[in-house]
Amino acid sequence: MHLILLGAPGAGKGTQAKKIMEKYHIPQISTGEILRQHVSDKTELGKKAKSTMDQGQLVSDGIILEMVADRLTHKDCRQGFILDGFPRTIPQAKGLEHILQNLHIKDLKVIEIHVDQETIIKRLTSRRICSNCGKDYNLNLNPPPPDNICKVCGGKIIQRDDDKEEIIRKRLEIYKNQTKPLIEFYQQKGNFFRVDGEKEIGDIFSDIENIIQ
Ligand code: AMP
C-alpha cells in the first residue's frame, strides 16, 4: 500500500496518517517531521533549513528529494508507506516518479484531504505540538494539560514557529501556488481521490479506508 496524503497545512494529513499507520502497520513519512528532527538535532541540514521553515517557505526540492529517496529504501517501507507533506511541488512529484520506478512501485494512490481555508486558519492558530515526540494538541478540541507537558512522552508542548497567523497565510499562499497544481497532475494519471476533511476524524478515516480497500 503506497499512499500520498495531499492537502493544505492543517488539513489533518498527520492525524489521518497516524491512524492509517496504526491500522495497516506501514510508516508515516512526514518530510516536515524529518526536517524538524534535523532542526532539533542541529544537523547541518537542520541549520540550513530552519530559517526557511520558520518563514513558512519551502525547503529546496533537491534536499527534499534526497531525503525521501533515502528514507524509502529503509526496511520498514517494504510493505508500503504514507507520504505526508510530500510531494509539495511538481518537480518533487516528478522526482518521486523516478524514485518509485527504481523501487518497482506501481500502486500509488493519492488522497486529498480537502478543508476550507478559514477552517484551516482557525485550526492552525490553535494547534500545539510536543517538541519531543510531535504529538498534536489543539487548544479547543484536544487541549494540552495545564502544565504543557506531553501526556505521551513528558516533553514540552509548544506552538510551532510557523503556526503564527501571518506565517500560516504565507504557507497557504504557497500551497495554492505550488502544491495545488499537483491535484491536476495526479487527476490526469487517474490515481487521485478526494475526501471531505471537515468531517469528524473517524468519518474521514472511514472514507480513506474505503479508498484504500
Ligand atoms: P509540515 O510539517 O509538513 O507543515 O512542514 C513544515 C515545513 O517544513 C514546511 O513549511 C516547509 O518549510 C518544510 N517542508 C516540509 N515538507 C516539505 C516539502 N515536501 N518540500 C519543501 N519543504 C517542506
Check residue 197 and give its pLDDT: 96
CATH superfamily of 2-26+79-117+176-212: P-loop containing nucleotide triphosphate hydrolases (3.40.50.300)
d(CA 48, CA 41) in angstroms, rounded, equals 12
Could you give the CA distance from residue 48 to residue 79 in angstroms, rounded to a whole number? Answer: 33
**Among candidates 152, 22, 28, 159, which has minimal Cα distance to 86?**
28
Find the 85 Cα to ligand 1 centroid distance in Å.
6
Burial class (CB in 10 A: 0-12, 13-18, 19+), 194: middle
* Distance in angstroms (rounded) separating the CA atoms of residues 175 and 142: 26
What are the pocket residues of ligand 1 if the criterion is a CB atom closer than 6 Å to any ligand atom?
9, 31-32, 35, 52-53, 56-59, 64, 85-86, 88, 92, 162, 171
The residue extents of the domains of the chain are 2-26+79-117+176-212
Going residue by residue through the chain (213 aa), what tens digit of pLDDT does each one get?
999 999 999 999 999 999 999 999 999 999 999 999 999 999 999 999 999 998 889 999 999 999 999 999 999 999 999 999 999 999 999 999 999 999 999 999 999 999 998 899 988 999 999 999 989 899 988 999 999 999 999 999 999 888 888 899 999 999 999 999 999 999 999 999 999 999 999 999 999 999 998
Cα–Cα distance measured from residue 154 to residue 151, given in angstroms and rounded to the nearest whole number = 6
- What confidence score (pLDDT) does residue 56 get? 87
**Coil vs helix vs strand at 208:** helix
User: Residue 31 Cα, ligand 1 centroid: separation in angstroms?
Assistant: 6
8-state DSSP, 103: T
Dist CA 188 CA 206 (whole Å):
25
SS3 state of residue 80: coil
Q: Is 194 tagged catalytic?
A: no
Given the CA of residue 31, which atom of ligand 1 is nearest to it? 16
